[in-house]
Amino acid sequence: AQSVTQLDSQVPVFEEAPVELRCNYSSSVSVYLFWYVQYPNQGLQLLLKYLSGSTLVESINGFEAEFNKSQTSFHLRKPSVHISDTAEYFCAVSALGGTSYGKLTFGQGTILTVHP
């Protein structure tokens, strides 16, 4: 089975400041890694994903995440946030095999609030 831990439930930052949302996972098999974002009163949208290859993946709106296999982490970063980045962010893993094949396991979520 897989588990995902998001180390911060809430992260308040000021506009144009950098931010890091932390995610650690546990799995007995190899996994794919995802970050989803949920804006207020909406469903989740994929922000970025790591499948293989370069351990640094980027989204179209300036977020990036780095897969660290030794530390089993997939932290999300942005060098300069905007008010519009205010949302809840979910880290998720999907197992490549075993009984959990095809199922997404989510972390608890991190609420990012960007203040002017």
Partner 1 sequence: NAGVTQTPKFQVLKTGQSMTLQCAQDMNHEYMSWYRQDPGMGLRLIHYSVGAGITDQGEVPNGYNVSRSTTEDFPLRLLSAAPSQTSVYFCASSYGGTRDEQFFGPGTRLTVL
The 3-state DSSP class for residue 5 equals strand
Q: Is 106 in the site for partner 1 (CB under 8 A)?
A: yes
- List the interface residues with partner 1, window 61-80 (CB under 8 A): none
Q: Is 4 in the site for partner 1 (CB under 8 A)?
A: yes
The 3-state DSSP class for residue 84 equals helix
- List the interface residues with partner 1, window 30-59 (CB under 8 A): 32, 42-46, 49, 51
Enclosing H/E stretch for 25: strand 23-26
**C-beta of 40 vs 116, nearer to partner 1:** 40
**How many helices and strands (H and E) does the chain possess?**
0, 12
Q: Is 116 in the site for partner 1 (CB under 8 A)?
A: no
Q: With contact defined as beta carbons under 8 Å apart, do 66 and 18 qualify? A: no
Q: What is the C-alpha separation between 79 and 62, in angstroms, rounded?
A: 8
Q: Is 94 in the site for partner 1 (CB under 8 A)?
A: yes
Cβ 92 to partner 1 shortest distance, Å:
8
Q: Which residues bind partner 1 (CB under 8 A)?
A: 4, 6, 9, 32, 42-46, 49, 51, 90, 94-96, 101-109
